[in-house]
Amino acid sequence: MSLFYLIAALVVCITIHEASHAYVAYKLGDPTAKRDGRVSLNPLRHLDPLGTLAVFIFHIGWGKPVVINDRNFKYPVRDSALTALAGPISNLLTAFLIAIPLKHLDFSGVLVYLGFLLQSIFSLSIVLAVFNLIPLPPFDGSKILGLFIPSKYQHKYDFFMQRAMGYVVLVLLFDIYLLESLVSFSFVKVFIGISYDLISGFILSNT
């Protein structure tokens, strides 16, 4: 995937991902993201300057996190989980929609570049969904996992998520960059690769 297609796909996928978080939070009773202008498909509302810069350096990037106030939710734990789930689900739905023209249309000739772009969006949508379903902070999966934590342990779980975030990021960076350079193996990349193959195969066989 060339840098141009990577950037274009990231803009599309991150915008859809973050806007979905904001929209679901708003519908569940929290107006915070709405007031911040995040219920929007305008990419400028969702791009993070550091995350965008990282695309050019590391070929990986991220968007500006959507701020929510779970005290505005009627059912804070459940609604926080649904808000978190909205991001990965929106990316998987995007992959399904993109798969239809990819599978059934001919992108030869002058349309070959459009085909490259759609393939990039398809692939990155699945990767972003899988990556965010990792059940550790700061990923969406940690909020989804919170739905299954008994209420008497919720306070401890929230404390864990706040304290563990930095350590999780460091471990991931170690795995992706240092471990792979030392032993040519990355747990995260293997997990994402297997998940991508399974999900993309399922989508393409059902479109």
Tell me if 122 sits within 8 A of 201, measured CB to CB. no
Q: Measure the CA dihedral 149/69/28/92, to 10°.
A: -70
Distances in Å between the Cα of 196 and the Cα atoms of 4, 86, 130, 131, 181 are: 22, 19, 8, 10, 22
Nearest to 96 by CA among 118, 124, 122, 127: 122
Given the residues 12, 14, 18, 98, select the one marked as catalytic. 18
Q: What DSSP string runs through 16-62?
A: HHHHHHHHHHHHTT--HHHHTT-SS--GGGTB-HHHHHHHHHHS---
| Residue 18 annotated in active site | yes
Q: Which active-site residues does the annotation give?
A: 18
